Structure 1
Amino acid sequence: MITNPSSSEIDGQTAAFKEKKLECSVASTDLRKIVKSEYMRIRQQKRIKRAEQVKNAFASNRRWIEAATERHNAVWRDKPFQSIHTAASFDQLPVTRRCSIEMGNGLETKTAPLHTLNALSSVPLVYTWAPLQQNFMVDDETVLHNIPYMGDEVLEQDGAFIEELIKNYDGKVHGEREKNFFEDDIFEDLVKAVSAARKEIKEPNTSGPGIPDNEESLKMPDDKVFEGIHSLFPEKGSVETLKSKYQELLEREDPNSLPPECTPNIDGPDAKSVSREQTMHSFHTLFCRRCFKYDCFLHPYHPTPSQTKPKPAEVKRESEICGPDCYMKNEVEDPIALSPEQCYRPSTPVKQAATSKNTKENDDLSSILQSWTGAECSLFRVLRSVYLNNYCDMAALIQTKTCKEVYEFALKEGDIIDLPPQGTPTPPRKKKRKQRLWSMHCRKIQLKKDNSGSHVYNYQPCDHPGKPCDSECSCIMLQNFCEKFCQCSPECQNRFPGCRCKAQCTTKQCPCYLAVRECDPDLCLTCGAGSFPEKADRENISCKNVGLQRGWKKHLLLAPSDVAGWGIYIKESAQKNEFISEYCGEIISQDEADRRGKVYDKYMCSFLFNLNNDFVVDATRKGNKIRFANHSNNPNCFAKVMMVNGDHRIGIFAKRAIHQGDELFFDYRYGPTDALKYVGIEREMDVPYIAGK
């Protein structure tokens, strides 16, 4: 029988609930007070410690300066200045003035004739820049690093410019700290101090509150500590965020621990035996598959799963004995000497002679495993995914083990692979079929060139395993060709085929030249783009459409220009359409270029160059000497954005024959308004050139 609670029972439950809620509220308020008091105490300690460090550093520097000054005075007293040769009489010299040189330290005063130097013309103004030999990708600046100074007259005439500039960065200026800001060390000390204070309240002792010992500090505090910090600093993240941050700081204190994203030591005597994924970690995360080098600063490389997994290997099976210690030399009945075609997995049923024999084999395999170092084990697991059961080649690469030892280790690893049967090779396609595909590609190139207009997008390799390149492919959506870096099939219809030229590839008869691309050494096999003789200069290679990737630049000289500021001059002559130099700089986004351009407009000096619809090359801070080439309506050079091995790059070419010592000019493609704003000097000089910088 169910009875309803009486009113007195309900009142009792309500009172108990209110009392419990009040206790939680009081506890939360007390914890908030503890966090605030400990935070203020730690900040005060940091300020006192910092002031003491500054005071000690100042006193130390003062003592060092006084000691150094005393040493120099002693040297000057012991070794006086070199005497100056003076004439016996000044009456015979063609000067009317003379000067006295006081040496100090009680030395004799010297007298010498005074010559007047002629005035020299000052060099043109130039802003500091760092030299580059290739483009450099940089991230967008979300914080204004410095407020540029362009003179008091700019601030007086246009006071709203600085306010607008700061507004473009959402009011974020370097050096300004947020409210309630604290560093990692303060956060770590705060967690330890609050945890110790709560423990002191629960279990009073005579040690007093403060930061606990090292053993206690390694323990993770309870959630109440982080809830109290979150209540006082809600903008620093959730409770889980604070916990993960504190855990990361604790792991950072251990000198023997590695960061979570770090490749372990895989070489040397102290190397550990790790899996293939750990061994290849730095290769997968740092090695650029387009530049073929580590820490590429041009491509923001992020590997996809299809790029990190092992590719299907095409390695022939060894059928010949490689040497006296080859694992195939023993009898086939010996389970340690099976050929690759007869390899088995550990799960396959195998007849065992006796238990004693199994124990002996296990002991032998254990001794085999102990004889391998960690570096050799890690290297074997990497080679295993490439060479499968080809133990002879793996032994040749490991160098310290025979193929028999490699095979025995593979048995211990339990990683014997069943190789699929070798199928018949695919017959080559007929020549007419290849020619038809070639003609279709050439027509597609011309069609893309006509329809693309001024819309050129940055290339990103497509990656859609198991799917053909259709309307959902990133390359097709951006009207780009699939390149050799894409993960699609080599038979993809959207892949650029290269050229079959046998000449210089400098006319529109070449598909690469027609598509505003340089010839690819991996695709263009007949024109000479893939030729690398001992002296690989432009005279020894038949293909002339590889100047950017080969670095066939001309020798340029920097000197004051007769037009405006500095100019660039060519030291050697150049023929028409010959490659001169690449326009290098920082690669920035269009939004970043808009923010920087507003500052450059105030300086009346801009080095921005549109690369495509996504990026801009900025040679203001970093660039090469071609950045000093001035603008002209009748230039002797022209700029062309070309696709070079998957990257858009800016090449400067000769528009006509250029003689040695000529200054280089190219058209900046200014509008009428910008031309008058930046290059108004043209009307005064009455010359066909317009100064652009």
Structure 2
Amino acid sequence: MEIATPPTSKCIIYWKRKVKSEYMRLRQLKRFQANMGAKALFVANFAKVHEKTQILNEEWKKLRVQPVQLMKPVSGHPFLKQCTVESIFPGFPSQTLYMRTLNTVALVPIMYSWSPLQQNFMVEDETVLCNIPYMGDEVKEEDETFIEELINNYDGKVHGEEGSVLISDAVFLELVNALNQYSDEEEEGHNDSEAKQEDGKEELPVTRKRKRIAVEGNKKCSKKRFPNDMIFTAISSMFPEYGFPDDMKERYRELTEVSDPNVLPPQCTPNIDGPCAKSVQREQSLHSFHTLFCRRCFKYDCFLHPFHATPNVYKRKNRETKIEPDPCGADCFLWLHLPFSPEANSRCQTPTKQKLSPTSSQLFAVEAQQEPVEWTGAEESLFRVFHGTYFNNFCSIARLLGTKTCKQVYNYQPCDHPEHPCDSSCPCIMTQNFCEKFCQCNPDCQNRFPGCRCKTQCNTKQCPCYLAVRECDPDLCLTCGASEHWDCKVVSCKNCSIQRGLKKDEADRRGKVYDKYMSSFLFNLNNDFVVDATRKGNKIRFANHSVNPNCYAKVVMVNGDHRIGIFAKRAIQAGEELFFDYRYSQADALKYVGIERETDII
């Protein structure tokens, strides 16, 4: 009895050779096609230029161009060189002039461009060197190893080199399809060997055998067979940086599947205003809003925080909005005689028919005899969204819906979710940090930062915010005046209005280039991130270093983020230049001198 064994090493080596040969063939083919395309464009452009040149020459002949009047040769020194200017037009005499040496012109000072920003941006690390910086011929001769070290910091990846270019989707498809032909040939050879073995048997008639072969041939023609797994395994072994075999198989499936542009992906919700609107839960209706909304910046899809916390699942303390005691109309739910409790949240998924009181039955006898109102998918989804904000204020929900009365809205309620208190699994407690106001824990959480209750300027260590190196939060600090700093010119709180990154490894890579330029705009924000204002920043990037500064920098926690604040050390006059201490090390202090050293030199 023979046991099935996995593919042998010879089979794997065979497919690796096929992958290498086909990949090299495709690369040569692409290079040849690119060269032929460039050659065709060059020939076409050259023909256009030649045609335009002939037209211009014909026009010049018709214009009867006159030669420039000869200038009298100026007497010069015998050691001055002479320059002869000849004309391409016949009959135009040549001109001879003395060459004059131009005086030296002062060079334009070195300048750097930058883009002004009003806020910070979190950017991705540059793992590929975009360009090799030009440091000048002198620097290149003195330090020949700098470029090599710089390229090694990026793992040898430079933009534009063949080794750093990934396989495009078109090349990947052509490679798999070319290898699939070898797989088909092996399959056909295997089928031929099986057919020869069947020919030696006496059982099957010839007509049935032909019929079966014809049916199998039609199936192959009608449906293209998916490539063999060995193809993706061989490609993954040759190019391991592009993913595993399963990843390549999924990539091939996505590239070859014919998708209908009108069909939405399964994770998408149909347009609530469209004809295909469905009845979905509140979380699914607001999925995009909850995913893109940043509770720190109060913006959608902000550029500063890569992780956006999900919405707070806990209820407000005063979750019940004020309900008018008088009915809003003849169809108001307040006419119904039904025990009402704010905690009553049984919430069925379909509209129900309520019983009427004897008093209200006379007013709504006609409505009571009608069938239950049908709700569309869009109306049910909108109701679940509004109910999470207005809760049991059915009059407001009905006005927002616009298609149902508040009595009909009152008879339809969605479901609720249980509360989960903050415990030791909370990431804030695990990292020994305070819970911020945008955290998902209960507002009564003991780990939340409560803010301060100061009534003075909040510039001493008696203020909890100042002691914790935090800015006073307008939503938490209600007595110090931080909540009024947007409207008032004179604010009692002096610990507000501070507000308005790169990783360490990325900052080190950029810092090597900035050190060569003798110009750096890097500022350490915390242990993980660095602020780089070389390409983009605000005006404070122009503040120079000084050993006797008039300002000082301080990193403060603002709304859950570390911010760089610039504070005055003394009274600063209008128009006075700002300086602060860069806190250089002893080695760097010799390279980057302060304003005092420059003054002494001048």
TM-score (norm 1): 0.62
**Tell me, which stretches of 5 or more residues in structure 1 are unaligned?**
1-12, 80-103, 106-116, 207-211, 353-360, 421-463, 552-586
Deviation, structure 1 residue 483: 2.2
In 2, the alpha carbon distance for the partners of 1:122 and 1:40 equals 50
Whether 2:444 is the aligned partner of 1:491: answer yes
Aligned to 2:85: none
Match of 2:498, SS state, is: helix
Aligned to 2:295: 289
In 1, the alpha carbon distance for the partners of 2:251 and 2:146 equals 40
The question of whether the paired residues in 1 share the 8 Å contact of 2:285 and 2:385 is answered with: yes
The question of whether the paired residues in 2 share the 8 Å contact of 1:506 and 1:513 is answered with: yes
Aligned to 1:565: none
In structure 2, relative to structure 1, the CA distance for the partners of 1:669 and 1:397 (3 Å cut) is same
Relative to structure 2, which stretch is displaced further, 168-177 or 677-686? 677-686
Aligned to 1:139: 124
Relative to structure 2, which stretch is displaced further, 621-630 or 512-521? 512-521
In 2, the alpha carbon distance for the partners of 1:68 and 1:544 equals 72
Cα deviation, 1:576-617, whole Å, max 9, x if unaligned, reads: xxxxxxxxxxx1122222222222222211111122222221
Cα deviation, 1:327-372, whole Å, max 9, x if unaligned, reads: 4546779xxx9999696747999999xxxxxxxx9x966x824xx3
Aligned to 1:170: 155
Write out aligned runs for 1:433-448 (5 A): none
The question of whether the paired residues in 1 share the 8 Å contact of 2:545 and 2:595 is answered with: no
Aligned to 1:539: 489
Cα deviation, 1:71-118, whole Å, max 9, x if unaligned, reads: 999999999xxxxxxxxxxxxxxxxxxxxxxxx99xxxxxxxxxxx99
The question of whether the paired residues in 2 share the 8 Å contact of 1:251 and 1:257 is answered with: no
Match of 1:686, SS state, is: helix
Aligned to 2:477: 524
Write out aligned runs for 1:582-621 (5 A): 587-621=501-535
Deviation, structure 1 residue 638: 1.7
Deviation, structure 1 residue 325: 2.8
Deviation, structure 1 residue 67: 8.5
Residue type at the aligned position of 1:516: V
In structure 2, relative to structure 1, the CA distance for the partners of 1:327 and 1:39 (3 Å cut) is farther
Whether 2:250 is the aligned partner of 1:244: answer yes
The question of whether the paired residues in 2 share the 8 Å contact of 1:34 and 1:194 is answered with: yes
Write out aligned runs for 1:618-633 (5 A): 618-633=532-547
Aligned to 1:512: 465
In 2, the alpha carbon distance for the partners of 1:180 and 1:609 equals 33
Aligned to 1:424: none
Cα deviation, 1:413-451, whole Å, max 9, x if unaligned, reads: xx655999xxxxxxxxxxxxxxxxxxxxxxxxxxxxxxx
Cα deviation, 1:640-679, whole Å, max 9, x if unaligned, reads: 2222211211122222222222222111122333222221
Which of 406, 421, 424 is the matching residue for 1:466? Answer: 421
Cα deviation, 1:220-251, whole Å, max 9, x if unaligned, reads: 54545534544655554333222222233245
In 1, the alpha carbon distance for the partners of 2:31 and 2:154 equals 31
Deviation, structure 1 residue 190: 3.4
Residue type at the aligned position of 1:151: G
Write out aligned runs for 1:224-623 (5 A): 225-227=231-233, 229-230=235-236, 233=239, 236-250=242-256, 254-258=260-264, 263-264=268-269, 266-270=271-275, 272-273=277-278, 275-276=280-281, 277-303=283-309, 307-308=310-311, 310-312=313-315, 314-315=319-320, 321-327=327-333, 329=335, 345=348, 368-369=374-375, 372=376, 375-387=378-390, 390-406=393-409, 410=412, 417=415, 466-468=421-423, 474-475=427-428, 480-531=433-484, 536=487, 539-549=489-499, 587-623=501-537
Write out aligned runs for 1:6-17 (5 A): none
**Tell me, which stretches of 5 or more residues in structure 2 are unaligned?**
64-87, 90-101, 193-212, 215-219, 356-367
Cα deviation, 1:440-494, whole Å, max 9, x if unaligned, reads: xxxxxxxxxxxxxxxxxxxxxxxx95344x6x76545655433212334433444
In structure 2, relative to structure 1, the CA distance for the partners of 1:121 and 1:61 (3 Å cut) is same
Aligned to 1:112: none
In 1, the alpha carbon distance for the partners of 2:541 and 2:392 equals 56
Deviation, structure 1 residue 619: 1.1
Whether 2:582 is the aligned partner of 1:668: answer yes
In structure 2, relative to structure 1, the CA distance for the partners of 1:489 and 1:380 (3 Å cut) is closer
Relative to structure 2, which stretch is displaced further, 243-252 or 50-59? 50-59
In 2, the alpha carbon distance for the partners of 1:50 and 1:364 equals 72
The question of whether the paired residues in 2 share the 8 Å contact of 1:332 and 1:339 is answered with: no
In 2, the alpha carbon distance for the partners of 1:56 and 1:254 equals 37
Aligned alpha-carbon RMSD (Å): 5.0
The question of whether the paired residues in 1 share the 8 Å contact of 2:130 and 2:158 is answered with: yes
Residue type at the aligned position of 1:634: N
